[in-house]
Chain A
Amino acid sequence: MVLNKRIFRVLLKQKAIYIGSIVLVMLSSLLYSNLNIAMKNVEKNKDLFLEKTKVEDAKAILQRPIDNIKKLEDKFNISIEARRQFDANISENTTIRVFEKTSKVNIPYIVEGNDIKSMNEILLEPNFAKTNGYNLGDKINILDKEFTIVGFFSMPDYIYPLKSEGDIMINYKIFGTAIISDKAMNEMPIKGTVYYLLKSHSGSLEEIKEYLGENHFIIFWQEINDNPRFSFVNAKLMGSAKMAIALPSMILLLTSLLVAVVLWRMIKTEFTQIGTLYALGYSKKEIGLHYLSFVNIIALTGGIIGTIFGLFLVKPLAEYFTFYFNIPLIDNSFDYKYILGSLLIPYIFIIPTMLIVLFKALRYSPVKLMRGKTENSKVGFIEKSLNLKKLRFPAKFKIREITKSIPRLFVLIFGITLSSMFLLLGFLYRNSIDYLLNQSLNDVFKYEYNYVLKSYETSNIYGGEEYNFSVFKVNGKVESFVVFGIKPNSQFINLIDKNSKPISEDNVIITKPLAKTLKVKEGDTIVITNKYNNDNYTIKIDKIAEIYTGNNIYMPLYKLNNLLGFDSNSFIGIFSKEKLNIPEEKILKFETKNDIKEAFKAIINPLKVSLGLVSFIAFFIALIVIYVVTGLSIEENKTNISMFKILGYTHREINDLILNTFTIPIIIGFVLSIPLLIKSMDTLLNSLAQNIDFTFPLKLNTVSIILGFLILYITFEVSKYFSKKNIFKIPMSEALKTQRE
């Protein structure tokens, strides 16, 4: 069709607007296909991993060991394997949990290196090894036995290697897992706890559970989906899968609305031409197709470029994702047909919006169109009803301009809200983590130095505040936790309840994560076992402390000492604000709060990359949206701008009128984004938390909001900088041309 010859001419004339739209399409089709491919890949690898490693259905601790495993396996059509494990400290702050190698259930998958062949060989969890500087071939000492690291492994019931089940975050600095041979396990100085790993072949665990309950007495029973070390990854996957759909979908929606506004504007300026074409005998279909070809170019170009970039990104993204989810990358192949989807996706979103615009335009009669007055002949309701008499002229002009096109206004606000949400997402995460850390490290624990002495003493001549502690376990539930005896009215430990009210230290107080793991409520009584002498003690829990990290119980110092049969003034540790003068030879261990903070920061670092990327995308989207909307406004105001110039307006005055018009909508968009982000993240977390016990405080502080706004403001300024040139270029003769549009 002859008409199509003008397509490129039109595109070139307003290239900024079209390039902006194309880039947005590119970005969204790239994100859409890649995130989904990466997610699919992770899921596939997860399934493969679970299949290869023969993941357990449940694990149990039994009072009476099973001596004939084979018999039970046959009887209940099940695989059973006994696995011993113990915790050992390999440095002051670092615990390693050592497992015995299994061969039927939860078989370790070797990610790198070789499997263990001899007694003095060991496998390490790769992230733990990396964080702590262990390489293949290095030696590691565990309970005075030396092992050579021959490989790195991943294990399905510890994909997310939490130290205790109440924790939220993994911290490779302080906790890791390792695997040694059964022979090596036999040689270790401690016996370790035996877990029976069960994998049913019939799909049912009921009978075996009943049998074990009757014959072996179950102390602990946990099915795989109740195991946070497994289900956290599932939840993370589910959450990310939702994001992988929602995020690019929102961008695509925004893109299609933006393209619709651009097309509508274009058709509007061409009503006369369309009318003439009608009159010449062109059919609606032919004219419609002509305009669709603009959209086609945008969608196709964006789709193709997006797909090409996507091809390069698929592999690194899949690698990053599997790393992020702690799943070994077993198979990194993917189906190329998915990437073709990124060509089609833009169409699916854009075509319907386009059709609406076209139908709206083409329903006018040719005569009306030829007069070119369809839209202009009526004064808009909003224009009529605005009462601006009291305002100064620039304000009037801006309000008129803002309200001129409601769809345009909507696209702008939507775009700003969306990109602000992305922008603030990183801040939200940072602030929440900081809050979590601050709350536990600064508000609750007020000490800067913590000394542990080599022996018990009864009178504190050093200063600071003395305390005592001992390590306990709850059989079948928690391997180890610390019970602290602290001074009543302690200056250094300030626990609060869920209403943020301080809890008096006369009480027996349990931290929230530990309470969750033990499933205790305030007023419950529990039996705890001392790890050193295996004595059992019964204690009543008075209060639960609102704190997000740490597995501890706090009670008055005299109470703990009485419980353990010590002199009621005994202590072994000292909290202090300042460094104390304690003779070197008396100190067993010494830590500053900074050490702990550093350890936590190490966990957050890997996420910075992806959050940085999201922020960058946010910046980009905001830039394009503002630029395109301002571009449209400049286009529409061409004659007016030219007129302003003739009247003697300076460039600064014109820039202010045209470019600062959208300041208010941009602020509105930003303000809207704050509650929307918190609400949507809250919804997402809640939908995930149905499966697991999980508390994560969502916090966004003022500094972050201001910073976020500053970034948006800079984006606005950058976009204004580009737009200024376009305004500058408009000649005064524009207004002298015959008829205005």
Chain B
Amino acid sequence: MFIQLHNVNKEFTSGKNVVFSLRNISFNVNKGQIITILGPSGSGKSTLLNLIGGIDRVDSGDILIGDMNISKLSDKDLTLYRRNKIGFVFQFYNLIPNLNVYENVEVAANISKNPLSLEKVLDSVGMLDKKDKFPQELSGGEQQRVSIARALAKNPEILLCDEPTGALDFKTAKEILMLLEKINKEYNTTIFIVTHNTAIIGMADRIIRLRSGEIVEDKINSAKISAEGVEW
């Protein structure tokens, strides 16, 4: 098993009140899978993703990536973990406005031990011809492509996408999904996709559904279709 979660718990409190808690989350994931995480707003999807991505820490339980228990890592090692293993894609692309496309991808490559060729990455997300453009000059879909390129440039083993298509129209969203699928095939990257959109589950190997901080469904998608076939 590549990723293993054992009894992961995480609470958010405000004063003495617990405002939210992720309770007893356990699941295993194989390398190279596409996992969708579904659930209503506030159910803890992003929280779960952040824990796996090492930008937040568990209160109890273990998260094993390969044979590394990231819940036991020091801040410094956690930083290294993010740096070497994780790529993030957000709903709002978080590009640096005064850097051009190429430079925005370089942000990630800059700290990577063995980054992919930036030209190649930009080519595979279809942005090579726009590499000198600035974020303001791009459409939302294009910006998301750049943000995916940035996540990809480090050649991560895990790609964590939090509502990657949330701000995009249907056609563009589908292109992004196809891109993710292509990456999954090309690089054998394990991809988590958090979404509200139930249509997306069709392209996943695995579907995890959350409600109020608990897993209410965890199933393997036996009828996996290609991203091209996803419709909503």
User: What residues make up the interface of A, taking CB atoms closer than 8 Å to B?
Assistant: 376-380, 383-384, 388, 392-394, 396-397, 400-401, 404, 639-640, 643-650, 653, 732-733, 735-736, 738-740
Contact B98 A649 (CB under 8 A): no
- Contacting A at CB under 8 A, from B157-174, are 162
Contact B103 A648 (CB under 8 A): no
Contact B134 A639 (CB under 8 A): no
Minimum CB–CB distance from B179 to chain A (whole Å) comes to 20
Partner of B107, one of A378, A393, A735: A393
User: A397 CA to B50 CA in the complex, in Å?
Assistant: 27
User: A392 CA to B109 CA in the complex, in Å?
Assistant: 11
A648 and B84 in contact, given A379-B137, A653-B111 (Cβ under 8 angstroms): yes
Give every chain B residue within 8 A of A392 (Cβ-Cβ).
Answer: 110
- Contacting A at CB under 8 A, from B28-83, are 46, 50, 53, 55-56, 76, 79-83
Contact A376 B103 (CB under 8 A): no
User: A489 CA to B141 CA in the complex, in Å?
Assistant: 88
Partner of A735, one of B94, B106, B108, B110: B94
> Is the CB of B208 closer than 8 A to any CB of chain A?
no
User: A378 CA to B154 CA in the complex, in Å?
Assistant: 30
User: A649 CA to B79 CA in the complex, in Å?
Assistant: 7
User: A519 CA to B153 CA in the complex, in Å?
Assistant: 81
Contact B94 A639 (CB under 8 A): yes
For this complex, 9 residue pairs linking A to B, each with C-beta atoms less than 8 Å apart, are A377-B136, A384-B134, A393-B106, A394-B110, A643-B107, A647-B108, A648-B86, A649-B79, A738-B92
User: A162 CA to B82 CA in the complex, in Å?
Assistant: 75
User: A647 CA to B86 CA in the complex, in Å?
Assistant: 8
Contact A648 B79 (CB under 8 A): yes
Minimum CB–CB distance from B106 to chain A (whole Å) comes to 5
> Is the CB of B97 closer than 8 A to any CB of chain A?
yes
Additional A-B contact list (5), CB under 8 Å, known A393-B103, A649-B83: A383-B98, A384-B134, A400-B103, A647-B82, A653-B111
Give every chain B residue within 8 A of A735 (Cβ-Cβ).
Answer: 90, 94
Which residue from chain B places its CB closest to the CB of A377 in the assembled complex? B136
A396 and B136 in contact, given A383-B98, A646-B55, A647-B82 (Cβ under 8 angstroms): no
- Interface residue range, chain B: 35 or more
Give every chain A residue within 8 A of B109 (Cβ-Cβ).
Answer: 393
Contact B136 A646 (CB under 8 A): no
Give every chain A residue within 8 A of B136 (Cβ-Cβ).
Answer: 376-379
Contact indicator per residue, chain B 88-116, by CB within 8 Å of chain A (1) or not (0): 10111010111110010011111100000
Give every chain B residue within 8 A of A380 (Cβ-Cβ).
Answer: 98
Minimum CB–CB distance from A673 to chain B (whole Å) comes to 29
User: A394 CA to B99 CA in the complex, in Å?
Assistant: 12
Contact A736 B86 (CB under 8 A): no
Give every chain A residue within 8 A of B56 (Cβ-Cβ).
Answer: 732
A736 and B108 in contact, given A646-B55, A646-B88, A648-B84 (Cβ under 8 angstroms): no
User: A647 CA to B54 CA in the complex, in Å?
Assistant: 10
Give every chain B residue within 8 A of A400 (Cβ-Cβ).
Answer: 98-99, 103
Give every chain B residue within 8 A of A732 (Cβ-Cβ).
Answer: 55-56
Give every chain B residue within 8 A of A643 (Cβ-Cβ).
Answer: 94, 96, 107
Partner of A397, one of B99, B108, B150: B99
Contact indicator per residue, chain B 129-159, by CB within 8 Å of chain A (1) or not (0): 0000010110000000000001000100000
Contact A647 B99 (CB under 8 A): no
Partner of A383, one of B111, B134, B150: B134
Which residue from chain B places its CB closest to the CB of A640 in the assembled complex? B96
Contact B110 A740 (CB under 8 A): no
A644 and B107 in contact, given A649-B83, A736-B90 (Cβ under 8 angstroms): yes
Minimum CB–CB distance from B5 to chain A (whole Å) comes to 20
Give every chain A residue within 8 A of B106 (Cβ-Cβ).
Answer: 393, 396
User: A123 CA to B193 CA in the complex, in Å?
Assistant: 96
Contact B96 A647 (CB under 8 A): no
User: A647 CA to B79 CA in the complex, in Å?
Assistant: 8
Give every chain B residue within 8 A of A397 (Cβ-Cβ).
Answer: 99, 103, 107
